[in-house]
Amino acid sequence: MAKVACPYCYHQFAPSSLWFQCTGRPSPGREKCRRTVDPERERLTGFANPAPPAFPPPKSWRTPRRAACPDCGTVSGIRACPVCHTPLPAGFADSRSPLIGVVGGKNAGKTVYTTVLVHELRHTIRRRFDADISFAGEQAGMGTAQWLERYEQALFDDRALFESTAGSADGVRIPLVVQWRQPRTRFGREVHSTTTLSFYDAAGEDMTTQEFVNRQAYLSAADGTIVLLDPFQLPGTADRIELPDVGRRDAEPPINVLTRITGLLRAGLADRRRISTPIAVVFSKIDAFFGMLGEQHPLLRPPVAGPYYDEAAGQDTDEHLRALLADLGADDIDAHLRAHYQTFRYFAVSSLGAEPDYGRKRIDPAGVRPFRVDEPLLWLLSHFGVIERSRA
């Protein structure tokens, strides 16, 4: 049977080996299970709150949908990951659940991007696709990762930027697990299908040595990757636009970061083959180039927002960015991608919509105005068959 991956710890397993979690409710005449801290869950996800115990499925020739807790006898239908023991969203076993990794060098804009993208998912993207979007486990009080709430408030309410993300050696970060439920028409009938999306925002620091990159197990389990390229670090950028001082700090050529990510994804792959996982290569901070490109530039015209991914506009943007890369002396990035990846595409994104005050870490007084942030995600979703792709 095809393996599935846990959206929290990214380990892969057969669906038949899914564990259960006790409901924590008493069964008649027996004492109810006590909530305890699960050491494996804490080690793998950092979650250290007491919760009802998880237990393996009973030995059986078919996969049971419910099982009795060995401690208290209560029958539970809550499924849990057999590796990290985190309870999985309802319907996980029957739904698609692509994992999406967000990676890039230090300071590339990953945390700002992830925060803004998830904010957009909850607001504009949800409406545009008539989708029901929720954070897994929201009812159970462990849904939205706390860091997201903090960052969302900082960006959208306080107009402030935040410090860089701590490396995973200091503390494991729980990925954001989002459920996308959408009506689709199948043979003239409306059916609903659920997709579980997991976003993991790595610390850029973790990408600066191959040893650290190798530890990022989630990357090799991901079904799609969003790689953020910091355009401030491209060789020709300093000659074309005024670079902020912070842009010069922690400088590392994006090609180096990309090469290390490729090294990880290639592990175990024959030399003549290319990586099949689709990879969205994102120019972050494109707002800093608005002046250089000029108002009439096609990259500054976002496609019309319909309930689909706009394939023609996507191809067009891809071509313009390939040209911009060459213009900025970074055509080695394109050569690298062509040599190693079957499916990749360039995207131009500004999470903030305008340049912040880099030194004072303040966002433009007009607030966050996301520019084309949805396209990398929609492109990946169209690959996974979750949404339609317009053909023009």
In the complex, the residues that contact ligand GTP under the rule CB under 6 A are 104, 106-112, 161, 164-165, 203-204, 246, 284-285, 287-288, 350-352, 355-356, 358
Looking at the DSSP bridge assignments, the partners of residue 281 are 227, 346
Nearer to ligand GTP, 182 or 237 (CB): 237
State whether residue 334 is helix, strand or coil: helix
Residue 103 contact among Zn ion, Mg ion, ligand GTP, none, beta carbon within 5 to 8 Å by kind: none
Single residue of 5, 54, 67, 83 touching Zn ion by CB under 5 A: 83
Residue 226 contact among Mg ion, Zn ion, ligand GTP, none, beta carbon within 5 to 8 Å by kind: none
Query: With binding defined as CB under 5 A, does residue 368 bind Zn ion?
Result: no
Residue 117 contact among Zn ion, ligand GTP, Mg ion, none, beta carbon within 5 to 8 Å by kind: none
Dist CA 212 CA 205 (whole Å): 8
Looking at the DSSP bridge assignments, the partners of residue 371 are 350
Burial of residue 80 (number of CB atoms within 10 Å: 0-12, 13-18, 19+): buried
Mask: binding to Mg ion, 310-329, rule CB under 5 A, as x and -? --------------------
Dist CA 245 CA 237 (whole Å): 13
The pair phi, psi for residue 184, each rounded to 5°, is -135, 150
Residue 83 contact among Mg ion, Zn ion, ligand GTP, none, beta carbon within 5 to 8 Å by kind: Zn ion
Query: With binding defined as CB under 5 A, does residue 350 bind Mg ion?
Result: no
Residue 72 contact among Zn ion, ligand GTP, Mg ion, none, beta carbon within 5 to 8 Å by kind: Zn ion
Q: Interface residues for Zn ion in 226-265 (CB under 5 A)?
A: none
Q: Interface residues for Zn ion in 18-77 (CB under 5 A)?
A: 22, 33, 69, 71-72
* Cα atoms found within 13 Å of the Cα of residue 34, Cβ hemisphere only: 2
Can you point out the beta strands (E) in 158-207? Answer: 176-186, 189-201
Query: With binding defined as CB under 5 A, does residue 111 bind Mg ion?
Result: yes
Burial of residue 27 (number of CB atoms within 10 Å: 0-12, 13-18, 19+): middle
Angle at 118 between CA 369 and CA 208, to 5 degrees: 95
Biggest CA-to-CA distance, the chain: 77
Q: Which residues bind Zn ion (CB under 5 A)?
A: 6, 8-9, 22, 33, 69, 71-72, 81, 83-84
Residues that bind Mg ion (CB under 5 A): 110-111, 165
